[in-house]
Structures are given as C-alpha cells and as structure tokens.
Amino acid sequence: MSLSPQFLDELRTRISLSAVIGRSVRVTKAGREFKACCPFHNEKTPSFTINDEKGFYHCFGCGAHGDVIRWMTDHQGLPFMDAVKELAMQAGMEVPAPDPRAAARAEAQKSLHDVMAAAQEFFVRSLAEERGADARRYLASRGFPAGIVRDFGFGFAPDSRTALKEALSAFPDAMLIEAGLRIVVEGKEPYDRFRGRLMLPILDPRGRVIAFGGRILSADKTDAPKYLNSPDTPLFDKGRTVYNLHRAGPAARQSGRVVVVEGYMDVVALAAAGIGEAVAPLGTALTEDQIERLWRVVECPTLCFDGDAAGQRAAMRAILRALPLLRPGHSLRIATLPAGMDPDDVLKRDGAAAMETLLNAARSMVEVLWQVERDVSPLVTPEDKAGLKQRLMDHVDTIQHPDIKALYRRDLLERFGELAYARKERAPFQPMQRSAGGRKPGQPWKPAPPPLGPVQTERLQRHVGQHERLLAAVLLGLVDHPEVIAPHAEMLARVSPADGDQARLLDALLAFADSPDVLESTGLRTILAGRQIKLPSAADFGEIRYGFLGKGEGAAGNLAEAITLLVELPAVEAALAEANRRYQEELSPESEVEKERLRERRLALFAQVGQMGRGRDAL
C-alpha cells in the first residue's frame, strides 16, 4: 500500500514527537528542545535531542536520526503500516484505503516537484535577462537588498502565452497544466498562467517549490488581478500552506514569536528590515489548519494585518476561527497598524523600531473581540446593549475548552457590566413647568405625580440600605446556598462591589460557578476561611433582617429574587435618570410615558427590597 506524501506530512505535523518518545523514555526540557539518554545505545550523559518544531530526533553519540514514524519502526519494532495506523489513531486521522493508483500518483507528484523546480529556474533566469528589467526596477524601488532577492527566490514570468511551455519543453503539457503553470480553456489552446509578473516561489516545509505567487508589473492591465497565486494542485493546498513557515521557523526560535501578515510581499519587507519570523496565508483568511501549524512553532502568534477595514475584517475572521480551537497557553495576539498602512508603509515612514513597537503592543484576542463588538453600532438603548451581550455570549459558546470558555464569559461580562450598568453622575432632576405651547394639539394635561413624602422616602432608603447592605446580604446568602451561584453566575458577574472584601468574596464565589464539584455551605466556608476571605456579618445589615439568610423554607428562591433586584435596581436608576433628561429635552408623550414607567418600576423594586428585609419599623 502506498501513502501520499501529503498524508504522511500531515500525520507528522499533528503528532508531538516528544510526547510519543516520552512514553517510553524519560525526556527533559532543554530550551526549545528536549533531551534524553539515547535509547539506541548505552550512555550516562544525555546526547539524544528531540525537536518538535522540526519533527525529528537525533543522537550525537550514535547518530540515530528520524521522525515519529521512524521512531515507531526502529524503537517500537512496528512494521511501517502498523506504525502509521497507530499514529493516525492518536492524531484522529483515517488511513486512506488501499488504492492501486496511489503509487502512480506518488510517482507523478515526484515528477511535479521536478516541474516546479524547473519553472523556478526559468523564472530566476528570466529576471536576470533583459526582459526582466522592469521587474528588477520594481525590486529596487521597494528597497529589497540583493541578498533578500536571492534568498526569497524572486523571478520573472515573461509577458508571453507560451514562454514557460517552450522553456519546459521536456515536460508534457498535461503535466504543466496539472502543476498549475498552464491554463486550459475549452475550445482554446492552453496558455501560461503567469505572464508579465514578478514571481515568488511558495515552498513546503522541506523547502521544495510547490506553487508560485505573481505580482503584476504593468499599470496598463487594470483588468488583471494585482496578485495571482497558483491554484490548488496535488502539491499545493492554499488552506493548509503558510508562506515562509520553513524559513521563519529558525528566526522564531530566536525571537519566541511568529508574525502573521496579509501577503508575501509584507513578509519580504519585514525580512529586509530584520524581522525574519514573518509568515502569511495565501489569498485566504487564516484557516484552522494554518492556526494549528503556527501553534506548533509558537503558542501565541501575532497577527499584524493592514490598518484598513479589510485588514481588520481579516483579523476578526481569524479570531472567530481560533475561538473553537483555543486551549491552555495557545491563543493569538493582534497588532493594529495605523489606518490605511501596511507593514511596508510603516517601515518606510517610521523604521523598524516603530514596527517593533507596534508588534510589542499587540492585544489579546478577548480585548479585540470586545472592542470590535462594542463598536459595531451605537449603544443607546437597552436593546442595543442587550444585542451586544448576545453577540458576545454567542462567541463564547463556540469555545470548546471548558475552562477557557468560563474565563472568556467572566471577562466579557465584566466588561459589559462596566459599560451597561455604569452609573452616571447627574444633577438632581428638576421637573419643568410645561406651558400650553409645550403640548401637542388635543393632548390632555397630565399633572405630575405627587412626590414621595419625607417619611416614606426615609424608610425606603433605610430598607434599601444604600445598595451595599443588600449586596452584603446576597453574598452571605450565597455562602449559605452555594447551589444558587451557578444559575445566576452571569448576572452576578455584572456586579462590581466597591468594598474590597466584598469584591474578593464575589470573585471567589464566581470561581466556583464552573466547578464540577458540588459544595456544601460548611465546606465552602472552610475554603473561604483558608483563603482568609472575610464574610459579611450582621453589623453590615444594621436593623434589617433578610428572609433569605439561613436555611429557612424558600430561602434559596428569595435569594434568587434578591440577586435580580441587586442588578436591576441600579439599571433602573440609571435608565430613569436618562429618561428624566430626555423628558426635559423633548417634552413628548413618549418620553413622559417612559419616565413614569421607570419611576413606577423603581418604586416597585424599593417595595420588594423592603419586603425582603424588614426591620423593627417595617414599611
């Protein structure tokens, strides 16, 4: 049975070599590699190294060398196919069914590599000839030094429909078409895909040419795409290939980072400025496969897309694709370029130091996710804010890892709470005397409701307890009834206690919301005491006695109601203040109705709180 090189490469990519070897040999971390005493010969000092990024092991003592498949055959003693099947099962891959044509395809792919190598030689040769003068002038205008031009393999495709075919006459036309170098159009003669373009080879992890990218040089060809890549072929899958990854790997081991930019010319510009760890997707948004490949090099690649709207959309698409894949320690960071600028613009205007500053200021995924969704539309009405929350929680629901999902939910709800429930300091509301001219024709005069009397106001304020009293009681109630925490975690996450002890207690309680363990009140008190977290006491409530404290019948249900009040009352207060402001400005029936509705809701909430916590002089 013959297996394709693509399948075997994918298998090696998905398997951690150090983890496989570590099952039978004691390995220790040594920088970005692992070391062990060689299992192929007796030694006391470790000379056996394992490099996960390059995917091979090597012994400097006996010369043993190989990849993960070679390890399974040489050390574990498995036949080749059994080794592949065992590794495929670990990687969650299916071994292709036997196919008598597989060997022929593998042989054809080898020939395709020969075709691509010959095409690269032709493009490089054409760049040095007279017909490559325009391409050389373009490279000089970009400021690329000769070493960069040589290292990246720049070439030139003559503006001819047959120049490549004539240069590669030793290969049949069908092979050139299969390699993506020629185009077939029904009813016409095949013709060269790349014409009049500056050429860049695209290489696989082994450094073999598998595709090309070409930039147009003639300003007259306005109908042609500026950049043109090879199509998908037996050698090239643009959704899995990361441009320059084979070259960026060594630089990434030195800097500890990988910089992902939009296009290969950005990669070249950064390399020319001394930032050699840059890579790029190839004409598509960053895919899940590409993200996984980058994570094998560094745990947190930095995305650095253009500062225009398209660049920001590309960054957001990458974030949304990464969310379901997140795992501990693995994420993305996003560097934002100035509006309308790409990396080359920044380098030319401000220099490499400015580019480094932008990269070092890259933000976390959760921060960018919050900012993008927050700025989608103005947040004026409660419905606008509710829409923001829904979008955020929809993103959180796509995260597969339970711990990361819980932490994202907590972080985003805290940000949302600070925005949606923030109190604004406003001058006290002063009712305006409306004249007849302030009413619409036919609108009846509706007198303002009578203000609260001083005694009623004083009693309501005392029973509400300055909000802190109710909060203290709720926190203590949650300690008595831990089963109420998880169902109300999202609502509790909106609360921001001003008191430091209360804030620590709330954080600790919310940490238990996603815990798989079932806690009893006694055990929870023991844990909190061990962490030296102070609980509220009776002195925090004054004369008020809250019915949900203790183990009485219906206490848990009353506590859930109290949590709702704790969050809703400040929101209603803020909404009422805003309604008062709008009423003064508009004097419209709609604003008056909204103001009165909120006022009545506020009084109803006060009454509910008063019923929950009655003191000696109850309302």
pLDDT at 521: 75
Q: What is the mean pLDDT of residues 46-60?
A: 87
Q: What is the mean pLDDT of residues 142-162?
A: 94
Q: How many CB atoms lie within 10 A of CB 443?
A: 11
Read off the DSSP letter of residue 398. Answer: T
Q: Which burial class, exposed, middle or buried, applies to 90 when counting CB atoms under 10 A from its CB (0-12, 13-18, 19+)?
A: middle
Q: Which of 374, 400, 418 is the last residue of a domain?
A: 374
Q: What is the mean pLDDT of residues 57-85?
A: 84
Q: Which pLDDT band holds residue 427 (cuts at 50, 70, 90)?
A: very low
- Read off the tokens for 90: 């670990």
DSSP string, 266-306: HHHHHHHTT---EEB-SSSPPPHHHHHHHHTT-SS-EEEE-
Q: Cα angle at 283 between 280 and 285, to 5 degrees?
A: 75
- For residue 27, the enclosing domain spans 5-91
Closest CA to 126 of 151, 153, 161, 158: 158
Decide if 542 is inside a domain: yes
Residues 106 and 202 reside in one and the same domain: yes
Indicate the range of 21-35, 106-120, 568-582 predicted with least confidence: 568-582
User: Which is higher by pLDDT, 286 or 459?
Assistant: 286
Indicate the range of 159-168, 471-480, 533-542 predicted with least confidence: 533-542
Residues 472 and 595 reside in one and the same domain: yes
Q: Could you report the per-residue pLDDT of 485-540, keeping only the tens digit for each?
A: 777 777 777 676 767 777 778 877 777 666 555 567 777 788 888 778 888 776 66
Q: Which pLDDT band holds residue 430 (cuts at 50, 70, 90)?
A: very low
pLDDT at 435: 40
Residues 205 and 257 reside in one and the same domain: no
User: Which is higher by pLDDT, 17 or 250?
Assistant: 17
Residues 609 and 484 reside in one and the same domain: yes
User: Which is higher by pLDDT, 562 or 21?
Assistant: 21
Decide if 418 is inside a domain: no
Q: What is the mean pLDDT of residues 327-342?
A: 90
Distance CA 339, CA 558 (A): 53
pLDDT of residue 450 exceeding 60: no
Q: Which of 61, 91, 121 is the last residue of a domain?
A: 91
Q: Could you report the per-residue pLDDT of 361-399, keeping only the tens digit for each?
A: 999 999 999 999 998 888 888 888 888 988 999 999 999
Q: What is the mean pLDDT of residues 166-187?
A: 91
Question: What single letter denotes the amino acid at residue 163?
Answer: A
pLDDT of residue 230 exceeding 90: yes
Residues 177 and 73 reside in one and the same domain: no
Decide if 402 is inside a domain: no
pLDDT at 602: 72
Pairing of strands 259-260, 302-305: parallel
Contact indicator for 68, 88 with CB cutoff of 8 Å: no
Q: What is the mean pLDDT of residues 21-45?
A: 86
Averaged pLDDT of the chain: 80
Residues 456 and 605 reside in one and the same domain: yes
Decide if 149 is inside a domain: yes
Q: Which pLDDT band holds residue 132 (cuts at 50, 70, 90)?
A: very high
Q: Which helix or strand (DSSP H or E) is residue 35 part of?
A: strand 33-36
Distance CA 404, CA 543 (A): 43
Q: What is the mean pLDDT of residues 145-159?
A: 94
pLDDT of residue 333 exceeding 80: yes
Number of domains composing the chain: 4
Q: Which pLDDT band holds residue 109 (cuts at 50, 70, 90)?
A: low
Residues 153 and 66 reside in one and the same domain: no
- Read off the tokens for 401: 């890892």
E strands present in 151-222? 155-157, 182-183, 191-192, 197-203, 209-216
User: Which is higher by pLDDT, 420 or 341?
Assistant: 341
Q: Cα angle at 46 between 45 and 52, to 5 degrees?
A: 175
Distance CA 338, CA 354 (A): 11
pLDDT at 66: 87
Decide if 19 is inside a domain: yes
Residues 109 and 51 reside in one and the same domain: no
pLDDT at 106: 53
Residues 182 and 206 reside in one and the same domain: yes
Decide if 383 is inside a domain: no
Closest CA to 570 of 590, 598, 592, 535: 598
Q: What is the mean pLDDT of residues 551-576?
A: 72
Distance CA 544, CA 296 (A): 59
Q: Which pLDDT band holds residue 155 (cuts at 50, 70, 90)?
A: very high
- CATH no. for residue 200? 3.90.980.10
Closest CA to 474 of 566, 576, 343, 579: 566
- Read off the tokens for 173: 């036309």
E strands present in 399-549? 545-546
Q: What is the mean pLDDT of residues 145-149?
A: 93
pLDDT of residue 457 exceeding 50: no
User: Which is higher by pLDDT, 50 or 513?
Assistant: 50
What is the pTM (predicted TM-score) of this model? 0.58
Taking each helix axis from N to C end, the angle separating 589-612 and 555-586, rounded to the nearest 10 degrees, works out to 150
Residues 84 and 108 reside in one and the same domain: no
Decide if 440 is inside a domain: no
User: Which is higher by pLDDT, 512 or 130?
Assistant: 130
- CATH no. for residue 267? 3.40.1360.10
Q: What is the mean pLDDT of residues 93-107?
A: 65
Question: What single letter denotes the amino acid at residue 204?
Answer: D
Distance CA 17, CA 51 (A): 8
Read off the DSSP letter of residue 438. Answer: G
pLDDT at 199: 96
Q: Which of 328, 350, 374 is the last residue of a domain?
A: 374
pLDDT of residue 428 exceeding 80: no
Decide if 396 is inside a domain: no
Read off the DSSP letter of residue 370. Answer: H
Phi, psi of 528 (to 5 degrees): -65, -40
pLDDT at 441: 44
Contact indicator for 416, 387 with CB cutoff of 8 Å: no
Residues 610 and 487 reside in one and the same domain: yes
pLDDT of residue 250 exceeding 80: no
Percent of the chain with pLDDT over 90: 32
Residues 36 and 161 reside in one and the same domain: no
Sole residue written with tokens 């183990």: 551
pLDDT at 265: 92
* Cα separations in angstroms, 31 against 206, 242, 469: 23, 25, 54
